[in-house]
Amino acid sequence: MKPEKRRLLDDVLGQARREATLLAGGQILRHRRWQRAGTRSLAVLAVAVLAAVAIHQKRPVQVGSQSSSAHPGPQPAQVQYLTDDQLLAYFPNTPIGLIKTANGRKSLIFPHPGDEEKFIIRL
């Protein structure tokens, strides 16, 4: 800056006001720098957490540290069958019927239209 302009600014603003303005500007710039650094740090942390979650979900779960020779194959799941009364209890306040067909299978009958779509999910 040219000396003439500097003298003019010193005369207009005064030395104390100039220092106060410079200090305030410095504080604002430091605050913005900390904000940028914090935002970058949070972004890196978020990416790291997402990567860890993705890796953890793809990894198969291992139960215990037993060797595979002790258990040659997967154990079949225990199937627990419902009784007729337990099955009908899943549909409270809904008229429903249970019939047994000639081949021994049991089927649910819904007398009201729309109840079957409401309760039964076809796979």
User: Is the CB of residue 96 less than 8 Å from the CB of residue 109?
Assistant: yes
100: Cβ contacts below 8 Å, ≥ 6 apart: 106
CB within 8 A of 91, min separation 6: which ones? 119
Question: Token pair 């003298």 is at which residue?
Answer: 7
Tens-level pLDDT at each residue, the chain (123 residues): 788 887 877 777 776 677 888 889 999 999 999 999 999 999 999 999 999 888 888 766 565 555 555 556 677 788 888 888 888 888 888 888 888 888 988 888 888 888 888 877 776
Helix 3-13 crosses helix 15-58 at what angle (to 10 degrees)? 100
End-to-end CA distance of the chain: 79
Q: Does the predicted TM-score (pTM) go above 0.95?
A: no
Q: What is the pLDDT, as a whole number, of residue 50?
A: 93
pLDDT number for residue 88: 84
Torsion sign (Cα): 11, 15, 17, 22 = positive
Q: How many CB atoms lie within 10 A of CB 50?
A: 10
